[in-house]
Amino acid sequence: MKIKMKNSDSKSDPKKVKAKSTAASGLRELFVDQLKDLYWAEKEITKAMPKMIKNSTSEELAQALTNHLEETKVQVTRLEEVFASIGEKAVAKKCEAMAGLTKEGEEIMKGTQEGVVRDAGIISAGQKIEHYEMASYGTLASFARVLGENEAADLLEETLAEEKNADETLTQISDSINVEADEEEAETESQTVSQKK
Per CB under 5 A, the segment of 5-13, 66-74, 103-111, 183-191 that binds Fe ion is: 66-74
Q: From the list 44, 119, 149, 163, which residue makes contact with Fe ion (rule: CB under 5 A)?
A: 163
136 belongs to the binding site for Fe ion (CB under 5 A): no
CA gap 157, 151 in Å, rounded: 10
Per CB under 5 A, the segment of 25-33, 93-101, 102-110, 130-138 that binds Fe ion is: 130-138
CB 6, min distance to Fe ion, A: 36
Q: Closer CB to Fe ion, residue 24 or residue 127?
A: 127
CA gap 191, 185 in Å, rounded: 10
CB 12, min distance to Fe ion, A: 42
Maximum C-alpha span of the chain: 74
Cβ 170 vs Cβ 64: under 8 Å: yes
Q: From the list 55, 56, 58, 75, which residue makes contact with Fe ion (rule: CB under 5 A)?
A: 75
CB 162, min distance to Fe ion, A: 7
CB 35, min distance to Fe ion, A: 13
Concatenated DSSP letters of 47-83: HHHHHHHHH---HHHHHHHHHHHHHHHHHHHHHHHHH
56 belongs to the binding site for Fe ion (CB under 5 A): no
CA gap 128, 135 in Å, rounded: 11
Q: Given CA atoms 168, 172, 178, 184 in this order, what sign does their dihedral have?
A: negative
CA gap 35, 110 in Å, rounded: 31
169 belongs to the binding site for Fe ion (CB under 5 A): no
Length of the chain as a residue count = 197
- Positions touching Fe ion (CB under 5 A) are 72, 75, 133, 163, 166
